[in-house]
Structure 1
């Protein structure tokens, strides 16, 4: 069975990572995967929008190449088609925006359950369980009392105290790791461009 100590550390790491990346950014990333990889009405709408946009560009280009004076009938027909395509794109954009908002709201709910909600649940369920015992006589009695709050036996570290300790200790480290990872990811394309440019110069 997984110990309370490990459970708390895992929740704190997850919460810190989510806080650093941002729930909105996570929702945006998952939405992109969702519409590309999962068969759904949202994915179909995104695909349809792409097709409509391509058709609108093609028709608009054809209209631009058609003289409104010499070929008015053809030009008018293309113009009506462009207007209809624009209307269809606006409608499907509104539908996709609604679906995306709903999806991201659901993701935020799931994130809350596995971070703040799980913290609350663990604190209530294990409020009387000592996460670990302190060496006897290491700290004054009042410190032992504080570390045992709210309901753990005195001389032990409670779940609530352990959450506070690990949150303070781990959050900074997680923030640093995530930020460095993003910085390295941003630098990578730049390095690739430099390598390509160097190769071209050499040739």
Structure 2
């Protein structure tokens, strides 16, 4: 893979992750992780929630004054279910915090860390060369910090890629936010007044 495409892919991946959001990705991968490595805890949590909701619904239907024995038994069942659920949630929370730390570390290493390594490794390499005289005396700035004169350095190429991707993201968001039905209503109103 050429250096120009590698750097663009790394920057695009990093920006895509920031656009989607780390918390969204964390929740997706955590739910997958929980179902693969802790299926009994996830299943038990779902069962407890369902059981508690069913018992609460029955408790609400039961009169505390007319059927006190049944109401008290249901109340104890709901309370026990809630305490079991709280204990299970704390266990799952511990697993989630450990997973979150590992996931954020892996995400940082695979995006930002790799960009640092690539920038350092290819710091004296040219991504590509500019035609002579295109930018006049400013041409040396594209080679900063260590690339040969007349070339575009890895750092400058990363900045250019990031800027183009950000502009593209903004254009997509603006395009997506425009609603065609709103423009059709405005056109219809203008034709009525004309």
Q: Distance in 2 between matches of 1:137 and 1:110?
A: 43
- 1:67 Cα offset (Å): 5.1
Q: Distance in 1 between matches of 2:21 and 2:30?
A: 14
- 1:157 Cα offset (Å): 0.9
SS of aligned partner of 1:150: coil
Q: Distance in 1 between matches of 2:175 and 2:98?
A: 29
Unaligned 5+ runs, structure 2: 180-194
Q: Distance in 2 between matches of 1:170 and 1:95?
A: 41
- 8 A Cα contact 1:148 1:155, kept in partner: yes
1:105-124 matches, cutoff 5 A: 105-124=101-120
Query: TM-score by structure 2 length?
Result: 0.78
1:16-35 matches, cutoff 5 A: 16-35=15-34
Query: TM-score by structure 1 length?
Result: 0.75
Question: How many residues matched?
Answer: 179
Deviations 1:57-103 (A, max 9, x none): 23334444555556544443332222111111111122222322332
Q: Distance in 1 between matches of 2:174 and 2:81?
A: 44
Unaligned 5+ runs, structure 1: 188-203
Structure showing greater relative contact order (alpha-carbon pairs closer than 8 Å, 6 or more residues apart): 1
